[in-house]
Amino acid sequence: MSSPALSTAASGAGPGRRRLLASIFGGSVGNLIEWYDFYVYSFFSLYFARAFFPGASPTGQLLNTAGIFALGFIMRPVGGWVMGAYADRHGRRTALLFSVMLMCCGSLVVGLCPTYASVGAAAPLILVLARMVQGISLGGEYGASATYLSEIATARHRGFYASFQYVTLIGGQLLASLTLLVLQRFLLSTAQLEAWGWRIPFLLGAALALAGVLLRRNMAETDAFLHERRRGAAGTWRELVRHKREVAIVVGLTLGGTLAFYADTVYMPKFLVNSVGLSRQTATLISTLSLFLYMCLQPAVGALSDVVGRRPVLIGFGVLGTLFTVPILSALARTHDPVVAFLLVMGALVIVSCYTAINAVVKAELFPAEIRALGVALPYAVTVSVFGGTAEYVGLWFRRLGHEPLFYWYITGCIFISLLVYTLMRDTRSTSQIDPAPGTLSER
């Protein structure tokens, strides 16, 4: 049941190799576009919060927008369940195509959404509905893209290839940050950004998502799915509960990593402004530069896991994150030097790279093909919704209470719990469930 279009890829034949690269590119770039669309909300919330919540204090406005950001994450389990099951039953490619179409719709609605001054309480309600659609899209995107890139990758370099999911995820954040940086420094004033300029990145995201649809239409399906697609139990709850141990591992290994990731990336620009006292422009510049270097780290860490194994790399994140999260964030809160702030942010991102670069491939390697997309997507989406999606809100909440350092300890505690999971789990590089059928892309 191997894919004829890709059957020559492993041997290096020209047309097959080009189709393989086009498929990887389509999956990766589509992922970048989706994450850009999702993250521009967070990066631009400093400018549009007043338009939807005019009566609140500045911190209250950010809390309201952060709450809606978290709501988008709460919808991710719905997307993970529905689209993960769909990917296992009908194909990774089709699920990825549908997810980017949903994201396009959500971004377009946010970009055209009327403000509170125009329609009153209906404005934040429309914003909520748009973010719910985007949350469903992203919930399905993660499982399908993690599965797709892991299955289409060559066996000896699976960690390296799968790391590009986070390269493009971070790339989406970076593109959102660069968009803000360009608008801030070169095109619009603060007043213009607050009045109407915040709409630009959402409309741009909708246009990019349409391009993502065109790219994904030409992607090839993976041979691992084609080999298993006739199984009647594929993508069902009955099949998922047969893998309770693997589901629990996904939750445990995700818990600390997702919280650290969202604290160090999504929440960091607001932390640099509200807690460190830097200007919005300086905070955006620090975030942009650090995200770029962080993105470049992912393939290197992924390749390292192909050599030493997945488990030692995850343990490295758990140990370093447990020991250094509180010192790094405490030092960051005390400094007013942008260079020192940049170095501290980069230190935190180097540590979390040991989770982000390989977490997708580890999860994919835990499950057999007939339940892989759902097994990756649903427990991951639930965990991210509870811990990652609320990171910004919890951080702002602790700050408003006057006990911001408790947030640092909260992150540390969650990383320590994940460290316990890393020390007890098997190394998925040597126990991988990704076992392609004869004639597939994997090197043997």
Residue ranges of domains in the chain, CATH in brackets? 15-424 (1.20.1250.20)
Tokens 């709450």 — which residue? 67
> Distance between CA 248 and CA 258 in Å, rounded?
15
Structure tokens at 203: 């409309």
Note the pLDDT of residue 414: 96
- CA 389 vs CA 86, 379, 393: distances in Å: 24, 14, 8
Note the pLDDT of residue 147: 83
- Count CA atoms closer than 13 A to 237's CA, side-chain side: 2
For 378, the enclosing helix (H) or strand (E) is helix 372-383
Note the pLDDT of residue 293: 94
Note the pLDDT of residue 62: 66
Note the pLDDT of residue 13: 40
Note the pLDDT of residue 70: 67
CB atoms within 10 A of CB 126: 16
**3-state DSSP: the chain helix, strand, coil percent, rounded to 5?**
80, 0, 20
Cβ neighbours for 431, distance < 8 A, ≥ 6 positions apart: 365
Phi, psi values for residue 121, rounded to 5°: -65, -15
> Distance between CA 199 and CA 59 in Å, rounded?
22
Low-confidence ranges of the chain (pLDDT < 50): 1-15, 436-444
Query: Over the stretch 58-67, which tens digit does the pLDDT of each residue have?
Result: 666 666 776 7
Q: Indicate the pTM of the whole model.
A: 0.79
Note the pLDDT of residue 299: 93
Q: Residue ranges of the alpha helices (H) in 359-430? A: 359-366, 372-383, 391-401, 405-424
* Backbone angle region of 166, left / alpha / beta, with phi > 0 → left and psi within -120 to 50 → alpha: alpha
Using alpha carbons, select from 107, 342, 134 the residue that is nearest to residue 208.
107
Q: Is 390 helix (H, G, I), strand (E, B) or coil?
A: coil
